[in-house]
Structure 1
Amino acid sequence: MAAAETFVFNIAQKVLEKLGSLAFQEARLIWGAEIDLGRFEKTLSIVKAVLLDAEEQQAHNQELTVWLGQLKEVFYDAQDVLDEFECEALRRQVVEMQGSTTRKVRRFFSSSNPLIFRTKMAHKVKEIRARLDEVAADRSKFDLSERSDDRHVVRGREMSYSFVQPSDVIGRDQDKENIVKHLMDPSDGQSISVVPVVGIGGLGKTALAKLVFNDERVIEHFELKCWVCVSDEFVLKQLLVKIIKSITSENRSDLDEEQLQVLLRNNLDGKKFFLVLDDVWNEDRGKWIELRNLLTGVANGSKILVTTRSPTIASMMGTMSPYNLEGLLHQECLSLFIKWAFDEGKERQHTNLVEIGDAIVKKCKGVPLAVKSLGSLLYSKLDEHDWIFVRDNEMWKLNRKEGDILSVLQLSYNQMPSYLKQCFSFLSLFPKDHEFNTLELIPYWLANGLLQSPNENQEMEDIGNQYIDELYSRCFLEDYLDSGYMREFKMHDLAHDLALSSVQSECLIINCQIQNISKMVWHLSYSDNTGQNENVLKCLQKSKSLRTILSPLKGVGPSTKSFVDLCISKFRYLRVLGLSDSSFEVLPSSIGTMKHLRLLDLSKNCRIRKFPNSICNLQNLQTLRLNGCEKIEELPKDIRYLIRLRNLTMITKQKCLPRCSNSLRLLRLFNCGNLESLVETMRVYTRLRLLYLDNCGGLISLFPTLKFLTTLEALFIENCEKLDLTEREDNQDDFPKSLRVLGFIRLPQLVAMPNWIKLSAKYLQVLAIESCLNLTTLPEGLVNLESLRRLTIENCPKLSSLSKGKLCLPALRYFKIAKCPELIRRCQPEIGEDWHKIAHASDIYLDDKRIKKADN
C-alpha cells in the first residue's frame, strides 16, 4: 500500500486563507485574474470540506491515497502561483521606495513589465484551475463526508522549568537505589565497568538515568560526569565531540579524530569518571570496543551507564547482567495518569472519569509514556464521551507486539489540529537528540507558512511558542526549558519515530548513500557532507519540488559552490535555504532571483568575504543569518529593501549599522567590534522585540537607542566591555516599558547593577546575570520586581547578598545561583540569612543541585 498522504487539509486551508485575504482580493482585481481565481476558490472550498474524512479513510483505500497525493501537488503549486502575485506587489513597493525614474523605465521593458506579468499570470491561473477541476472531479468515486477541523490548540498545564522533576517520575525509587548501588560498588575489579539498563520504549529509561545522574551520592562519588545521547548514529568522532562538550562545555567539532582522542585522554587521565550513554542502538561490537579503548586511563571504579531497548546491545556492552526495567504497577500508573489528567485534587470531583481512566490505564500495560500521553490528552476534558472515546478506541487493536506504544502516541497525534500536526512532523528533519530552541526553529515554520494567521494583537513568534507548549503538554517533547524569550527542548525519541512515520515521503534526511529523492519530497535536510558528493548532486538534479533545504548538524555544510549553484538554478520555489557551516567564498549574484525565499542561513561560513547586492532583491526574505561570517567587511548597501525582514543575525566591521527595514522583530549582533553607535539605525525599529549585543567592544552608549525601542521585550548584553550601563539612570523616558527579559553576561566593568531596572520593575519576568566578575551589589529596585518569575545568577563571586533590606519577589518560581560562594552560603535551606527571601520558589538550584524543600 502507498504511504499515507498527510496535511492535505491544512495546505488547502492555507491556500484559501491567502485567497481570502484583503491584500490578495485587491491583487486579483488589479491583475485581471478575478474570474479564474474565483472558480478555483469555489472548487477548492468544496474539496476541502471532505479532506479530513479522506485522510482518515485512506488507510483502507489506496486509490484515495493517490487522489490525495494529486491534490497535494496541485495545492503546493497553487501556493507558488499565488505567491507570484505577492512577490510582484512587494517588488512594486520597493520600486516606489527607490523612486528612480531610470529604474522604473528599465523595469518596464523587463520581464516585470505589468502587461507581460498580467499575461503570464493569467495563463498560470487558468492552468492551475484546470488541474484542480480535473483532480476534483474524481471526488465522486469515494464515499466522503464533509467534516470541519474543530480541534484547536488548548492552553496546557503550567510548564515546568526543570529538566527532570523527581516528583514527575513515579514508581522508580527502588530502581534508582539498585542502580546507584551498582555504581558505588568497588568490588567488581574492573577499571571501568558498564551497567546496562534495558527496556521497551516509553518505560522511562532516560528519566531513570537522569535521576541517577543527578543523585547527590553519585555527584560526590565521581570526579567527572558526562551525559551523551547516542541514538541511531554511533559515529566515533561525533561521540568524542559530545563527551568532550559534556566535560568541558566546549564544542570542539573543529578538531579531527586524532586531536579529539588526545583531548579526551588529557581530560580523563587518572580521574574517576561516570559516563551515561543514553539510547544506544548500535549492534556493531567493533565500534563499541573502539570507543571503550579510548576510555582507558581513568581511575578504578569508573562507570558507564547504558540505556537501550535491545537486550543484545545490553549483553554486548555490559560487564554485568543487564538491569531489566519493568513496567510500573497498576496503582503507580493510575497515580501518574491522575497527575497528568487533572489539576491537583480535582480528580475527587470527577469519580466517574477516574473510573474510566482506570480502565484506560490497564490497557497501557505499565508504560509511563503511554499513561502520560493519554492523561495529557484528556487534561481539562470533563465530558465522559471524550474519555470513553479513548478507552474504546480502535488503536488498542493496533498493538501488534508487546511494548509497541506508537499507536498510543498516534491517538494523541490524531487529536491535534491539522496545522499543529504539520509543525510537529517538520521536526523529523532534525536528528534524534537535537537540541532545539524556538529562536532557530520558528523561522523555519514561518518561512513555510505553517503558522496560523495571527489575530490583531498576536505576533507569529508568539504563535510558534504556543505550538511548542502544546506539543510539550502532549508529552512529545522533553528537557523543556522556558527562558522567557524562547523555549529550549528535545523530542522524545518515540515522538521522533512518530514524526517520521506521519510525514512519510514529504520530509527526508539524506546522506551520501542516497540513491533517489522522490518527487513528493518537499523538505530536505542533510546529515553529512552531502553538498560535495556527486551522487547527491545527481539525485538533486532529478528533484523539482523542494521548498526546504537545511543542515541541522553543526560542522556539516556544503563546501562547494556547485551545490549552491544547483540550489539557486534548480529550486526557484525554495522557501528555506540553509547553508550554515559552509566554506565557499562567493555567493552567486543569481541568489537575487530566488524571490520566494523566506529564510537564508549563511552562518558560520569562515571564507565568504562579500555578499552580492542582489541579495537585496529578496523582498520576501524574513530571516537572514550571517553570524560567524568573520571575514565579512560590510553588509550590502540596499539591505533596507528587504521589506519583510523580521529576524536578522549578523556580523560587520562597519562603525555604523546599515539601515534595515522597520519590520525587524529580532536583531542579534555578534563580534561587531568596530560598532560605535546604534542611534541612527535603531530609531526606525518600532517593532523590534529582541535585541542581543554580543562582543560589540566599541559600543559605548545604549540609552539614546533604547528610547526608540518602544516594543522591546528582551535585551541581552554580552561581552561589551566599553558599554556604560549606568548612564542617565534618572531619565525614565530613555527606557522601554515593554521589557520582560533582561540578561547581563560577561561584563567585567559592571560593579553595581544599574538602578534603571526599577523602571521595568512592574513587568520584568526574567533576569539573568552571568560572569560579571566584579559585580558586588544588586539594584535596590530588586525589592519591587513583582512579576519576576525567573532569576539566574552565575559566576559572580563578589556578589555577597541578594539585597540589603526587604526582598519581595512574589511571582518567583525558578531561582538559580552558581559559582557565587558567599551568596550560596546565605541561601542555604533553612539556615541561610537569605533563605526566607527565595524559599517560596518552586525550583531552587544552588551550584546545579536542586534543593529539596521540607514539606510544609
Structure 2
Amino acid sequence: MAAETFVFNIAAKLLGELVSPAFQEACLVWGVESDLRRLENTLSNVKAVLLDAEDQQVHNEELTVWLGQLREVFYDAQDVLDEFECEALRKQVVEMQGSTTRKVRHFFSSSSPLIFRTKMAHKVKDIRARLDEVAADRAKFHLSLRSDDRHVVRGREMSYSFVQASDVIGRNQVKENIVEHLMGPSDGQSITVVPVVGIGGLGKTALAKLVFNDERVIEHFELKCWVCVSDEFVLKQLLVKIIKSITSENRSDLDEEQLQVLLRNNLDGKKFFLVLDDVWNEDRGNWIELRNLLIGGVNGSKILVTTRSPTIASMMGTMSPYKLEGLLHQESLSLFIKWAFDEGKERQHTNLVEIGDAIVKKCKGVPLAVKSLGSLLYSKFDERDWLFVRDNEMWKLNRKEGDILSVLQWSYNQMPSYLKQCFAFLSLFPKDYEFNTLNLIPRWMANGLLQSPNENQEPEDIGNQYIDELYSRCFLEDYIDLGYLREFKIHDLAHDLALSSAQSECLIINCQIQNISKKVWHLSYTDNTWQNENVLKCLQKSKGLRTILSMVKGVGPSTKSFVDSCVSNFRYMRLLDLSDSSFEVLPSSIGTMKHLRLLDLRSNCRIHKLPNSICKLQNLQTLNLRGCEKIEELPKDIRYLIRLRMFFMTTKQKSLLGCPSSLRRLALYDCGNLESLVETMQVCTSLRMLHIDTCGGLISLLPTLKFLTMLEVLIIENCERLDLTEMEDNQDDFPMSLRMLSFNGLPQLVAMPDWIRRSIKSLQILLIESCPNLTAFPEWLVNLESLRGLTILNCPKLSSLSKGKLCLPALRSFIIAKCPELIRRCQPKIGEYWHKIAHASDIYLDYKRIK
C-alpha cells in the first residue's frame, strides 16, 4: 500500500486559514463560529501527532489508512472554507459598484444570505462530525507529539550565468578519451555509437554535457543534437525531439512518415553529433528502426549514448562502453567540501571535515550522494548534526542503485513539510522537462502550496525561495538564475523520488489507463487522452480533482465537450490547462467554477471571444490567452477578476480597458492593433513585470511608466514603431526601481533612454539585442552599481561601452555577440575595454567563453 504523505502540511495550511483574522470575522458574520472553533481545536490536536504518524506508517498499514481518511476530510474542509472566501469576494465585487447599477448585482447574484448561511452551517457541522470521528482513532496508535523542526537549507548566493558553470570533478580523463574518439575515424562503421554506462547519480549526463559543449566537438560537427530519451522509446516522440533539437521547431503535428522525411532532409549530407541521454529501451528492434533513420548523415557522424544498463550499452554501441566508475576518495572529499562549506571555511572546522571524510567513504564515490549530503550539512556547525548523518540507519539499506536512493530519500525526509508537496508536484511533468519559474510558480499558487509566516511577502517571491532551496538540496540541475526567472530541470533520480512521494496524490495518465483512484487530486496527460471515452469515464469518478495539466505540445481538446465534462464533474478544480486546444466556444458554465485559480487557454487559434461569465471567477489568479489570435476583445467585466495577478494575452483591441488593479504581471503578445496602454496602467499600479512582444502598432509608452512605481521587470521586443526616447521631454520625476530591463528588436532605438537612470541603484540585469541603430551607451552606465549581468547581441553599430571609467563592481556576467567593433575592443589583454570588464566571472565574446 502506498504511503500517505503531506497530511501534516494540509492540516497546517487548514489551521492557518481557520485562525486568520479575515476568516474569524467571516465566522461571526455567518454564525458558524462555535462549530469552527471546535473544528479548530480538534485539528490542532490531530496536527500535533501527524509527523510521527507519517513516519510510523511504514510499519503500520492501519496507520496509512487512518492518514488517508484524515487527508480526505482535510481536503473537503478546505473546499468548505474556500466557499466562505468565494462568497466574501463576490460581495466585495458587488460593493465595488455601490448602488450605481442593478446589472452588476444581478450578474454576481447568489442565493439569499439566509440560504447561504443555512447551507454552510450544515457543511461545517458535517465536516466537524467527520473529523471528530476519524480523529478519535488516534489514541490507539500511541503517537508522539512533534513539531515540524526539520532543517531549512540556507541557500547559497546563486550564481548568475547564461551558460551553466560545470561543477564536474574527476572526469577530465574520460572526457578527453571520449572527445578523442569522437574526432577520430569511423572504423568502417556507417555511424559510430559511443556508449557510457554507470549507475544513477554517477554523473553520466554531466559528462555528456562536458563533451557536447567542448569547443573541439562544436567545430568538428556541422550539426549537434541533444535528446533525453528516458523511460519510453517511442519512435515518433524521439523524431520530434531530434528535429526540435536541430531546428528549434516542435513538429508534433506531423505523422511519423512526415517526420522521417523531415529528419532525412535535415541530416542529408551533414556530419552530425547526437547525444541520446538516459536510454532505458532494451528492445533491439526499436533501436534498429531509429538507427536506420540516422544513417543519412555524412560518414564520421557519431552518437553518444548514456544508460544505466550494460545490456543497452552493448546492444547500441559499436565499441566497448565507457564504464563510469565512482570518484576517487580524495575527489569525493573535495566535492563534499565544496558543497558543505563556503570557500576556505573548512579550515576553521577540521573536526567536521574529519567526520565528513567518514561520510564520504560511505557514499562510494557517487557524486550525487556526496553533493546531497554536503548541501544538507551546509551552514551546520554542530558536531552532533554531522555525527547523526555519519551514523544514520540509511547506510544499512541496500538498493540496486547503491546507496544513492537511500541518501536522496533521507534528504527528502529532512525537508520542511511545506517543501515536500511542492517537490512532489514536479512529478506531474515528464523527465527532462525544462522548467521555468514563471510557469511553475503560478501552478503552485493555484493549489495553495506556497506558505510564508510573513503575510506581506509576495507569493512569487516565496516560490523563488522554494526553487532555490530545492537546488541547494541537489534535487535540481541545469539551474540558471536569470534574475527575473529561474530555469532548471529535475535530476532523473529526483524525479523517481518525486513520483514515489506523490503516488497517492499525483498521476500522469495516457490513453491506456484503465482506472483512476479517487485519492488522486492532481493529474497530467501525455497524449490525446481527452479523445478517449474510457478515460473521460474514469475521470468522472474523481470528483475531487484539483489539477488537470496538459503535457501535450501542439495538440489539445478540439471540442468543448472536454471542458463541459470538467465543469460538470470537477466543481473544486483549482488549475485547468486547456492549452493548444482548438474549440471555438468556451461554455458560459465556466463561470460556475468559483474555486478556479488558473485557466490556461494558450494557443487556441479558433476561439473568437470569451463568455462574460468568466468574470465571475473571483478566485482566478492566472489567465493565459497568449496565442488566442482571433479574440476580438476582452470581456467587458474583466476588471471584476479582483484576484488576478498574472495576465497573458493576445488581442485585436486598440487599447486595454478595465484590467484589474490586482495585476502583478502583464504580458502582451502579437497585439498588432494596440496603440496605447495608458488606460490600463493607471489602475495597475501594483504591476511588477511588464512584457510587450510584437505589438507593431504601439508608438509610445508615455505616460504609461510613471504609473508603474512598483515595476521590477520590463521586457520590450519586436516593436518596430516604438520610440522609447520620446519620454525624455517628460519632466515628471516619477520613481522607478527596475531590476531587469530587456530591449530586443527595436529599430527606433538610437540611444538608451535617459529615464533608465531612475533605476540606477536597483538595475541588476540589462539585455540589449537586435537594435541595429543603437550607436553608444550613455555616460551614466558607469553608475549602475548593482548591475550583475550585461548582455549585448546583434547591435552592429554599437562600438563603445562608455568613455569614462567603467567599473560596475557587481558585474558577474558579460556577454557580447555580433557586435564586431565592440568585441574587438573587449579582446583579452589587448582590447582597450578589457580592463573595464576583466573582473566579471563569466565573459563570452561571440558565444565563446573567455573566463
Band the TM-score falls in, shorter-chain normalisation = over 0.9
CA contact (8 A) 1:333 1:368 kept: yes
Q: Deviations over 1:452-472 (max 9, x none)?
A: 146254211000000000000
Q: Note the C-alpha offset of 1:673.
A: 0.7
Q: Secondary structure at the match of 1:339?
A: helix
Would you say how many aligned residue pairs link Structure 1 and Structure 2?
Answer: 850
Q: Note the C-alpha offset of 1:785.
A: 0.9
CA contact (8 A) 1:706 1:734 kept: no
Q: Note the C-alpha offset of 1:111.
A: 4.9
Aligned to 2:499: 500
1:535-554 equivalences under 5 Å are 535-554=534-553
1:248-267 equivalences under 5 Å are 248-267=247-266
Aligned to 1:183: 182
Q: Note the C-alpha offset of 1:761.
A: 1.6
CA contact (8 A) 2:153 2:376 kept: no
**Amino acid paired to 2:273:** F
1:348 aligns with 2:342: no
Q: Note the C-alpha offset of 1:266.
A: 2.7
Q: Secondary structure at the match of 2:797?
A: coil
Aligned to 2:310: 311
**Amino acid paired to 2:8:** F
Q: Note the C-alpha offset of 1:333.
A: 0.3
Q: Note the C-alpha offset of 1:218.
A: 1.1
Q: Note the C-alpha offset of 1:778.
A: 2.2
Aligned to 2:213: 214
**Amino acid paired to 2:305:** V
Q: Deviations over 1:579-608 (max 9, x none)?
A: 101111111100000000000001011111
Q: Deviations over 1:220-272 (max 9, x none)?
A: 21122121212122233332332233223333334443333333333322221
Q: Secondary structure at the match of 1:649?
A: strand
Aligned to 2:829: 830
127-136 vs 838-847, which moves further: 838-847
**Amino acid paired to 1:542:** K
Q: Note the C-alpha offset of 1:293.
A: 1.9
Q: Secondary structure at the match of 1:733?
A: coil
**Amino acid paired to 2:36:** L
CA contact (8 A) 2:2 2:503 kept: yes
1:241 aligns with 2:240: yes
Change (3 A) 1:402 1:540: closer
Change (3 A) 1:141 1:183: same
Aligned to 1:475: 474
Aligned to 1:92: 91
CA contact (8 A) 2:737 2:758 kept: no
- Return the alpha-carbon distance in structure 1 between the equivalents of residues 186 and 444 of structure 2: 54
Give the gaps of 5 or more residues in structure 2: none
- Return the alpha-carbon distance in structure 2 between the equivalents of residues 88 and 836 of structure 1: 63
**Amino acid paired to 1:809:** L
Aligned to 2:66: 67
1:688 aligns with 2:687: yes
Aligned to 2:747: 748
Q: Secondary structure at the match of 1:824?
A: helix
- Return the alpha-carbon distance in structure 1 between the equivalents of residues 136 and 115 of structure 2: 32
CA contact (8 A) 2:162 2:482 kept: no
1:687-706 equivalences under 5 Å are 687-706=686-705
Change (3 A) 1:628 1:549: same
- Return the alpha-carbon distance in structure 1 between the equivalents of residues 104 and 666 of structure 2: 32
Q: Deviations over 1:420-439 (max 9, x none)?
A: 11101100000011111111
CA contact (8 A) 1:163 1:480 kept: no
Change (3 A) 1:829 1:337: same
269-278 vs 153-162, which moves further: 153-162
1:387 aligns with 2:386: yes
CA contact (8 A) 1:203 1:325 kept: yes
Change (3 A) 1:402 1:448: closer
Q: Note the C-alpha offset of 1:140.
A: 0.5
**Amino acid paired to 2:446:** A
**Amino acid paired to 2:392:** N
The list of structure 1 runs, each at least 4 consecutive aligned residues, that deviate by more than 4 angstroms after superposition, is: 103-108, 162-167
- Return the alpha-carbon distance in structure 1 between the equivalents of residues 186 and 671 of structure 2: 57
- Return the alpha-carbon distance in structure 1 between the equivalents of residues 552 and 482 of structure 2: 23
1:13-412 equivalences under 5 Å are 13-98=12-97, 99=99, 102-103=102-103, 111-151=110-150, 153-162=152-161, 168-412=167-411
- Return the alpha-carbon distance in structure 2 between the equivalents of residues 253 and 746 of structure 1: 29
Q: Note the C-alpha offset of 1:100.
A: 5.2
**Amino acid paired to 1:640:** R
CA contact (8 A) 1:454 1:463 kept: no
- Return the alpha-carbon distance in structure 2 between the equivalents of residues 265 and 818 of structure 1: 31
814-823 vs 39-48, which moves further: 814-823
CA contact (8 A) 1:271 1:298 kept: yes
- Return the alpha-carbon distance in structure 1 between the equivalents of residues 772 and 276 of structure 2: 35
**Amino acid paired to 2:447:** N
- Return the alpha-carbon distance in structure 1 between the equivalents of residues 309 and 396 of structure 2: 24
- Return the alpha-carbon distance in structure 2 between the equivalents of residues 92 and 164 of structure 1: 50
**Amino acid paired to 1:190:** Q
Aligned to 2:627: 628
Q: Secondary structure at the match of 1:844?
A: strand
CA contact (8 A) 1:162 1:480 kept: no
CA contact (8 A) 1:703 1:734 kept: no
149-158 vs 478-487, which moves further: 149-158
Aligned to 1:656: 655
Q: Note the C-alpha offset of 1:773.
A: 2.8
Q: Secondary structure at the match of 2:136?
A: helix
398-407 vs 173-182, which moves further: 398-407
Change (3 A) 1:839 1:502: same
- Return the alpha-carbon distance in structure 1 between the equivalents of residues 242 and 845 of structure 2: 24
CA contact (8 A) 2:161 2:481 kept: no
Change (3 A) 1:453 1:340: closer
CA contact (8 A) 1:13 1:48 kept: yes
Q: Note the C-alpha offset of 1:730.
A: 5.6
Q: Secondary structure at the match of 1:727?
A: helix
CA contact (8 A) 2:483 2:740 kept: yes
534-543 vs 81-90, which moves further: 534-543
* TM-score of the superposed pair, with normalisation by structure 1: 0.97
Q: Deviations over 1:301-322 (max 9, x none)?
A: 1111111111111111111111
Q: Secondary structure at the match of 2:130?
A: helix
CA contact (8 A) 2:194 2:303 kept: yes
Q: Note the C-alpha offset of 1:392.
A: 1.1
1:722-741 equivalences under 5 Å are 722-729=721-728, 731=730, 733=732, 736-741=735-740
Q: Deviations over 1:765-804 (max 9, x none)?
A: 0111122233222233211111000111222233223233
* TM-score of the superposed pair, with normalisation by structure 2: 0.97
CA contact (8 A) 2:154 2:379 kept: no
Aligned to 1:600: 599
Change (3 A) 1:735 1:723: farther
Change (3 A) 1:739 1:219: same
Give the gaps of 5 or more residues in structure 1: none
450-459 vs 137-146, which moves further: 450-459
- Return the alpha-carbon distance in structure 2 between the equivalents of residues 443 and 345 of structure 1: 39
Change (3 A) 1:629 1:412: same
Q: Note the C-alpha offset of 1:167.
A: 5.5
- Return the alpha-carbon distance in structure 2 between the equivalents of residues 840 and 230 of structure 1: 40
- Return the alpha-carbon distance in structure 2 between the equivalents of residues 273 and 375 of structure 1: 39
- Return the alpha-carbon distance in structure 1 between the equivalents of residues 593 and 165 of structure 2: 50
Aligned to 1:521: 520
Over the aligned positions, Cα root-mean-square deviation in angstroms equals 1.7
Q: Share of identical aligned residues, percent?
A: 85
Change (3 A) 1:402 1:121: closer
Q: Secondary structure at the match of 1:168?
A: coil
**Amino acid paired to 1:689:** R
1:429 aligns with 2:414: no
Q: Note the C-alpha offset of 1:189.
A: 2.0
CA contact (8 A) 2:94 2:105 kept: no
Aligned to 1:11: 10
CA contact (8 A) 2:399 2:405 kept: no
